[in-house]
């Protein structure tokens, strides 16, 4: 089980958090995209092997969104979480 250190609540089990996906680029404009581009944007997430910056929501805790760097190969958290501004 992954333990995530919340800046407000301390070290907590992954079960208290909801995965928000990788931190990515800007959202594409659905009005200026084809249906295929929009569907791909909504459904196809990058799945790289190695360090990835991710968003996590502390849903069963303080309710804050955090960003962390996690190695997808080892699941080790590489950088302490911080709250996005």
* C-alpha span between 57 and 41 (Å, rounded): 21
Binned at pLDDT 50, 70 and 90, residue 67 comes out as very high
Tell which CATH architecture fits domain 3-24+35-82: 2-Layer Sandwich (3.30)
Domain positions in the chain:
3-24+35-82
Q: Residue 45 and residue 30: Cα distance in Å, rounded?
A: 17
Give alpha helix (H) positions in 16-71.
35-43
Going by pLDDT thresholds of 50, 70 and 90, the confidence category of residue 1 is confident
Tokens of residue 15, six digits:
């079960």
- pLDDT tens-place string over residues 27-48: 899 999 999 999 998 898 778 8
């Amino acid at each position: 089980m992954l333990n995530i250190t919340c800046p407000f609540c301390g070290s907590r089990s992954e079960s208290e958090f909801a995965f928000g996906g990788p931190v990515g680029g800007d959202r594409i404009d659905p009005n200026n995209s084809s249906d295929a581009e929009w569907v791909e944007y909504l459904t196809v997430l990058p799945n790289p092997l190695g360090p990835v910056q991710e968003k996590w929501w502390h849903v069963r805790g303080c309710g804050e969104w955090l960003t962390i760097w996690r190695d997808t190969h080892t699941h080790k958290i590489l950088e302490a979480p911080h709250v996005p501004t």
